[in-house]
Amino acid sequence: MRLEFTSDWHRTDEIARAFLESSPIRNAVLITLLHARLTRPEPVRCWIAQDSGRTIGLALQSPLNDSALITKMNRRVARMIVQEIHGSGIALPGVLGDAGSAASFAAEWAEVTKVPVLVTRTSRLYEVRRVREPRMPEGRFRQATADDHALATEWAGNFASEGGEEIADVAATVERLITERKIWLWETDVPVSMCVGSAPAAGIVVVQAVYTPSTSRNFGYAGACVATLSQRTLSQNNRCVLYADIANPISNALYRRLGYEPVFEALAFSFGSQHMSHGMDASRHRT
Protein backbone atom coordinates (compact mmCIF):
# COMPACT_ATOMS: atom_id res chain seq x y z
CA MET A 1 0.00 0.00 0.00
CA ARG A 2 0.99 3.60 -0.56
CA LEU A 3 -0.51 6.90 0.51
CA GLU A 4 -0.72 10.02 -1.61
CA PHE A 5 -1.41 13.45 -0.17
CA THR A 6 -2.77 16.26 -2.32
CA SER A 7 -4.07 19.77 -1.73
CA ASP A 8 -5.44 20.03 -5.28
CA TRP A 9 -9.09 19.31 -6.09
CA HIS A 10 -8.36 18.32 -9.67
CA ARG A 11 -5.76 15.79 -8.55
CA THR A 12 -8.25 14.45 -6.00
CA ASP A 13 -10.84 14.14 -8.75
CA GLU A 14 -8.35 12.40 -11.05
CA ILE A 15 -7.41 9.77 -8.50
CA ALA A 16 -10.57 9.33 -6.50
CA ARG A 17 -13.61 9.90 -8.75
CA ALA A 18 -13.87 6.34 -10.09
CA PHE A 19 -13.41 4.91 -6.60
CA LEU A 20 -16.06 7.19 -5.08
CA GLU A 21 -18.54 6.58 -7.88
CA SER A 22 -18.13 2.80 -7.57
CA SER A 23 -20.30 3.16 -4.42
CA PRO A 24 -22.21 6.37 -5.20
CA ILE A 25 -24.83 6.20 -2.46
CA ARG A 26 -22.35 5.33 0.29
CA ASN A 27 -20.07 8.13 -0.90
CA ALA A 28 -22.83 10.63 -1.74
CA VAL A 29 -21.60 13.41 0.56
CA LEU A 30 -17.99 13.16 -0.63
CA ILE A 31 -19.08 13.06 -4.27
CA THR A 32 -21.29 16.11 -3.74
CA LEU A 33 -18.48 17.98 -1.99
CA LEU A 34 -15.97 17.12 -4.73
CA HIS A 35 -18.41 18.20 -7.44
CA ALA A 36 -19.02 21.54 -5.70
CA ARG A 37 -15.37 22.29 -4.99
CA LEU A 38 -14.27 21.72 -8.58
CA THR A 39 -16.28 24.81 -9.53
CA ARG A 40 -16.00 26.70 -6.23
CA PRO A 41 -12.63 25.72 -4.74
CA GLU A 42 -11.72 26.00 -1.08
CA PRO A 43 -8.49 24.79 0.55
CA VAL A 44 -8.37 21.01 0.88
CA ARG A 45 -6.26 18.25 2.32
CA CYS A 46 -6.82 14.80 0.90
CA TRP A 47 -5.09 11.55 1.82
CA ILE A 48 -5.65 8.74 -0.69
CA ALA A 49 -4.65 5.15 0.06
CA GLN A 50 -3.82 2.92 -2.91
CA ASP A 51 -2.94 -0.72 -3.35
CA SER A 52 -1.33 -1.77 -6.65
CA GLY A 53 -2.55 1.45 -8.23
CA ARG A 54 -6.13 0.93 -7.01
CA THR A 55 -7.69 3.43 -4.59
CA ILE A 56 -8.92 1.67 -1.45
CA GLY A 57 -9.82 4.57 0.85
CA LEU A 58 -9.47 8.27 1.44
CA ALA A 59 -9.85 11.01 4.02
CA LEU A 60 -10.70 14.55 2.96
CA GLN A 61 -10.67 17.80 4.93
CA SER A 62 -12.22 21.00 3.54
CA PRO A 63 -12.33 23.66 4.90
CA LEU A 64 -9.13 23.06 6.81
CA ASN A 65 -10.73 23.59 10.22
CA ASP A 66 -13.43 20.98 9.58
CA SER A 67 -13.47 17.34 10.55
CA ALA A 68 -12.22 14.79 8.06
CA LEU A 69 -14.77 13.01 5.89
CA ILE A 70 -13.72 9.43 5.20
CA THR A 71 -14.78 6.60 2.94
CA LYS A 72 -15.31 3.05 4.12
CA MET A 73 -11.89 1.66 5.00
CA ASN A 74 -10.36 -1.16 7.02
CA ARG A 75 -8.34 -0.61 10.17
CA ARG A 76 -5.00 -0.98 8.38
CA VAL A 77 -5.86 1.86 5.99
CA ALA A 78 -7.21 3.96 8.86
CA ARG A 79 -3.97 3.50 10.81
CA MET A 80 -1.84 4.47 7.82
CA ILE A 81 -3.82 7.66 7.19
CA VAL A 82 -3.91 8.60 10.89
CA GLN A 83 -0.15 8.15 11.23
CA GLU A 84 0.47 10.28 8.16
CA ILE A 85 -1.81 13.09 9.36
CA HIS A 86 -0.38 13.09 12.87
CA GLY A 87 3.16 12.89 11.54
CA SER A 88 2.48 16.00 9.46
CA GLY A 89 1.60 17.94 12.61
CA ILE A 90 -2.07 18.37 11.68
CA ALA A 91 -4.55 18.35 14.55
CA LEU A 92 -7.86 17.13 13.15
CA PRO A 93 -10.99 18.36 14.96
CA GLY A 94 -12.74 15.05 14.32
CA VAL A 95 -13.91 12.51 11.76
CA LEU A 96 -17.17 11.59 10.06
CA GLY A 97 -17.88 8.37 8.15
CA ASP A 98 -19.70 5.06 8.18
CA ALA A 99 -19.92 3.69 11.70
CA GLY A 100 -17.28 0.98 11.49
CA SER A 101 -14.70 3.04 9.60
CA ALA A 102 -15.17 6.16 11.72
CA ALA A 103 -14.84 4.12 14.91
CA SER A 104 -11.62 2.51 13.64
CA PHE A 105 -10.22 5.88 12.57
CA ALA A 106 -11.09 7.49 15.92
CA ALA A 107 -9.57 4.60 17.87
CA GLU A 108 -6.35 4.87 15.87
CA TRP A 109 -6.31 8.64 16.41
CA ALA A 110 -6.74 8.23 20.16
CA GLU A 111 -3.94 5.65 20.30
CA VAL A 112 -1.48 7.71 18.25
CA THR A 113 -2.22 11.15 19.70
CA LYS A 114 -3.16 10.17 23.27
CA VAL A 115 -6.15 12.54 23.16
CA PRO A 116 -9.72 11.53 24.04
CA VAL A 117 -12.32 10.99 21.31
CA LEU A 118 -16.05 11.50 21.72
CA VAL A 119 -19.05 10.46 19.61
CA THR A 120 -20.91 13.68 18.78
CA ARG A 121 -23.48 12.42 16.29
CA THR A 122 -25.01 9.13 15.23
CA SER A 123 -26.73 9.30 11.86
CA ARG A 124 -28.42 7.06 9.33
CA LEU A 125 -28.23 7.46 5.56
CA TYR A 126 -31.54 6.88 3.78
CA GLU A 127 -32.40 6.52 0.10
CA VAL A 128 -35.85 6.82 -1.45
CA ARG A 129 -36.69 4.92 -4.64
CA ARG A 130 -40.44 5.54 -4.63
CA VAL A 131 -41.93 8.44 -2.71
CA ARG A 132 -45.04 7.68 -0.67
CA GLU A 133 -46.81 11.01 -0.82
CA PRO A 134 -48.11 12.11 2.57
CA ARG A 135 -51.42 13.81 3.19
CA MET A 136 -50.53 17.22 1.84
CA PRO A 137 -51.22 20.29 3.99
CA GLU A 138 -52.40 23.52 2.49
CA GLY A 139 -49.76 25.54 0.73
CA ARG A 140 -47.32 25.23 -2.12
CA PHE A 141 -43.73 24.27 -2.82
CA ARG A 142 -41.37 26.80 -4.37
CA GLN A 143 -37.75 27.81 -4.67
CA ALA A 144 -36.42 30.48 -2.35
CA THR A 145 -35.59 33.82 -3.92
CA ALA A 146 -33.51 36.80 -2.87
CA ASP A 147 -36.59 38.13 -1.08
CA ASP A 148 -36.40 35.12 1.27
CA HIS A 149 -32.77 35.73 2.24
CA ALA A 150 -33.39 37.20 5.69
CA LEU A 151 -35.84 34.48 6.72
CA ALA A 152 -33.74 31.64 5.28
CA THR A 153 -30.67 33.04 7.07
CA GLU A 154 -32.55 33.08 10.37
CA TRP A 155 -33.76 29.51 9.84
CA ALA A 156 -30.33 28.27 8.78
CA GLY A 157 -28.82 29.79 11.91
CA ASN A 158 -31.50 28.15 14.05
CA PHE A 159 -30.96 24.83 12.28
CA ALA A 160 -27.26 24.94 13.07
CA SER A 161 -27.58 26.12 16.66
CA GLU A 162 -30.28 23.58 17.54
CA GLY A 163 -27.90 20.89 16.31
CA GLY A 164 -24.98 22.29 18.30
CA GLU A 165 -23.17 23.22 15.09
CA GLU A 166 -21.74 26.32 13.51
CA ILE A 167 -21.88 27.96 10.08
CA ALA A 168 -19.00 30.37 9.56
CA ASP A 169 -21.00 32.97 7.60
CA VAL A 170 -24.67 32.04 7.56
CA ALA A 171 -25.84 34.99 5.47
CA ALA A 172 -23.22 34.43 2.76
CA THR A 173 -23.89 30.68 2.67
CA VAL A 174 -27.64 31.25 2.30
CA GLU A 175 -27.09 33.88 -0.39
CA ARG A 176 -24.99 31.42 -2.39
CA LEU A 177 -27.51 28.59 -1.98
CA ILE A 178 -30.36 30.83 -3.12
CA THR A 179 -28.33 31.94 -6.14
CA GLU A 180 -27.61 28.30 -6.94
CA ARG A 181 -31.37 27.54 -6.63
CA LYS A 182 -30.84 24.95 -3.91
CA ILE A 183 -33.16 26.22 -1.14
CA TRP A 184 -36.80 25.14 -1.28
CA LEU A 185 -39.73 26.35 0.79
CA TRP A 186 -43.21 25.21 1.66
CA GLU A 187 -45.43 28.20 2.17
CA THR A 188 -49.02 28.92 3.10
CA ASP A 189 -49.58 32.66 3.41
CA VAL A 190 -45.93 32.80 4.46
CA PRO A 191 -43.03 30.31 4.32
CA VAL A 192 -43.42 27.61 6.98
CA SER A 193 -40.71 25.03 6.19
CA MET A 194 -37.38 24.76 4.38
CA CYS A 195 -35.10 22.15 2.88
CA VAL A 196 -31.96 22.23 0.75
CA GLY A 197 -31.22 20.00 -2.22
CA SER A 198 -27.68 19.63 -3.52
CA ALA A 199 -26.84 19.90 -7.20
CA PRO A 200 -26.92 16.45 -8.82
CA ALA A 201 -23.50 14.77 -8.68
CA ALA A 202 -23.00 11.33 -10.19
CA GLY A 203 -26.78 11.26 -10.51
CA ILE A 204 -27.38 11.79 -6.77
CA VAL A 205 -29.08 14.63 -4.90
CA VAL A 206 -28.57 14.99 -1.14
CA VAL A 207 -31.47 16.53 0.80
CA GLN A 208 -30.14 18.62 3.69
CA ALA A 209 -31.05 21.22 6.31
CA VAL A 210 -34.70 20.23 6.72
CA TYR A 211 -36.07 22.85 9.10
CA THR A 212 -39.45 24.02 10.34
CA PRO A 213 -39.73 26.75 13.00
CA SER A 214 -41.31 25.60 16.25
CA THR A 215 -44.54 27.54 15.66
CA SER A 216 -45.17 25.65 12.40
CA ARG A 217 -44.31 22.11 13.47
CA ASN A 218 -46.72 19.15 13.54
CA PHE A 219 -48.75 20.38 10.56
CA GLY A 220 -47.05 18.19 7.93
CA TYR A 221 -45.11 21.01 6.29
CA ALA A 222 -41.69 19.35 6.50
CA GLY A 223 -43.07 16.09 5.08
CA ALA A 224 -44.67 17.95 2.19
CA CYS A 225 -41.45 19.86 1.52
CA VAL A 226 -39.21 16.78 1.56
CA ALA A 227 -41.68 14.59 -0.36
CA THR A 228 -42.07 17.15 -3.13
CA LEU A 229 -38.32 17.73 -3.50
CA SER A 230 -37.69 13.97 -3.43
CA GLN A 231 -40.30 13.28 -6.11
CA ARG A 232 -38.95 16.11 -8.23
CA THR A 233 -35.46 14.62 -7.93
CA LEU A 234 -36.59 11.12 -8.95
CA SER A 235 -38.62 12.47 -11.87
CA GLN A 236 -35.40 14.02 -13.21
CA ASN A 237 -33.79 10.55 -13.19
CA ASN A 238 -31.60 11.26 -10.18
CA ARG A 239 -31.28 9.25 -6.98
CA CYS A 240 -32.21 10.93 -3.71
CA VAL A 241 -30.65 10.47 -0.26
CA LEU A 242 -30.61 12.18 3.11
CA TYR A 243 -29.06 11.75 6.55
CA ALA A 244 -31.14 11.71 9.73
CA ASP A 245 -29.96 11.93 13.31
CA ILE A 246 -30.73 8.58 14.95
CA ALA A 247 -31.42 10.44 18.19
CA ASN A 248 -34.38 12.18 16.53
CA PRO A 249 -37.21 9.61 16.29
CA ILE A 250 -39.64 12.11 14.75
CA SER A 251 -37.42 12.72 11.72
CA ASN A 252 -36.63 9.04 11.22
CA ALA A 253 -40.30 8.08 11.40
CA LEU A 254 -41.21 10.84 8.95
CA TYR A 255 -38.66 9.77 6.36
CA ARG A 256 -39.66 6.13 6.63
CA ARG A 257 -43.30 7.12 6.02
CA LEU A 258 -42.20 9.00 2.89
CA GLY A 259 -40.56 5.84 1.53
CA TYR A 260 -36.95 6.39 2.58
CA GLU A 261 -35.11 3.16 3.39
CA PRO A 262 -31.97 2.90 5.57
CA VAL A 263 -28.64 2.25 3.85
CA PHE A 264 -26.04 2.48 6.63
CA GLU A 265 -25.23 4.17 9.92
CA ALA A 266 -22.61 6.88 10.30
CA LEU A 267 -20.72 8.22 13.30
CA ALA A 268 -19.13 11.60 13.93
CA PHE A 269 -16.32 11.86 16.49
CA SER A 270 -14.67 14.94 17.93
CA PHE A 271 -11.03 14.75 18.96
CA GLY A 272 -9.93 16.37 22.19
CA SER A 273 -11.81 19.52 23.17
CA GLN A 274 -12.20 20.83 19.62
CA HIS A 275 -15.69 21.38 18.24
CA MET A 276 -16.80 19.73 15.03
CA SER A 277 -18.97 21.48 12.46
CA HIS A 278 -20.14 20.79 8.94
CA GLY A 279 -22.63 23.64 8.69
CA MET A 280 -25.38 23.27 6.08
CA ASP A 281 -23.98 19.85 5.15
CA ALA A 282 -24.76 18.51 8.60
CA SER A 283 -26.94 15.46 8.96
CA ARG A 284 -29.35 16.84 11.54
CA HIS A 285 -32.89 17.59 10.45
CA ARG A 286 -35.38 19.84 12.25
CA THR A 287 -38.95 19.05 11.28
* 167-192 per-position pLDDT tens digit: 778 999 999 999 999 999 999 999 99
Q: What is the pLDDT of residues 95-125, one digit of tens each?
A: 999 999 999 999 999 999 999 999 999 999 9
- pLDDT averaged over every residue in the chain: 93
Question: Does the domain made of 128-263 have the CATH classification 3.40.50.2000?
Answer: no
Instruction: Compute the distance between CA of residue 192 and CA of residue 225 in angstroms, rounded to an integer.
Output: 10
pLDDT at position 277, please?
47
Per-residue pLDDT for 86 more than 50?
A: yes
pLDDT at position 264, please?
96
Residue 149: closest CA among 177, 190, 180, 189: 177
Candidate from 135-144, 222-231, 258-267, 278-287 with smallest mean pLDDT: 278-287
Q: What is the pLDDT of residues 197-252, one digit of tens each?
A: 999 999 999 999 999 999 999 999 999 999 999 999 999 999 999 999 999 999 99
Instruction: Compute the distance between CA of residue 18 and CA of residue 6 in angstroms, rounded to an integer.
Output: 17
Question: Residue 282 — pLDDT band, cuts 50, 70, 90?
Answer: very low
Instruction: Compute the distance between CA of residue 115 and CA of residue 86 in angstroms, rounded to an integer.
Output: 12
Report, in angstroms and rounded to the nearest whole number, the Rg of the chain calculated over CA atoms.
19
- The residue-averaged pLDDT of 9-23 equals 96
pLDDT at position 229, please?
98
Task: Decide if 57 contacts 30 (C-beta within 8 A).
Answer: no
Q: What is the residue extent of each domain of the chain?
A: 2-115, 128-263
Question: Does the domain made of 2-115 have the CATH classification 3.30.1490?
Answer: no
- The residue-averaged pLDDT of 41-57 equals 95
Question: Residue 164 — pLDDT band, cuts 50, 70, 90?
Answer: low
Residue 68: closest CA among 269, 272, 283: 269
How far CA 122 is from CA of 41, 105, 119, 218, 244, in Å, comes to: 29, 15, 8, 24, 9
pLDDT at position 273, please?
57
- The residue-averaged pLDDT of 129-155 equals 96
Question: Residue 286 — pLDDT band, cuts 50, 70, 90?
Answer: very low
How far CA 189 is from CA of 66, 143, 209, in Å, comes to: 38, 15, 22
- The residue-averaged pLDDT of 11-18 equals 95
Task: Decide if 58 contacts 10 (C-beta within 8 A).
Answer: no
pLDDT at position 90, please?
95
- The residue-averaged pLDDT of 5-22 equals 96
Per-residue pLDDT for 278 more than 90?
A: no
DSSP state of 189: S
pLDDT at position 168, please?
72
- The residue-averaged pLDDT of 40-67 equals 95
Contacts of the segment 189-195: beta carbons below 8 A, 24+ positions apart: 191/144, 191/148, 191/151, 192/139, 192/216, 192/219, 192/221, 193/221, 193/222, 193/224, 193/225, 193/287, 194/144, 194/152, 194/155, 194/225, 195/222, 195/225, 195/226, 195/229
pLDDT higher at 272 or 50: 50
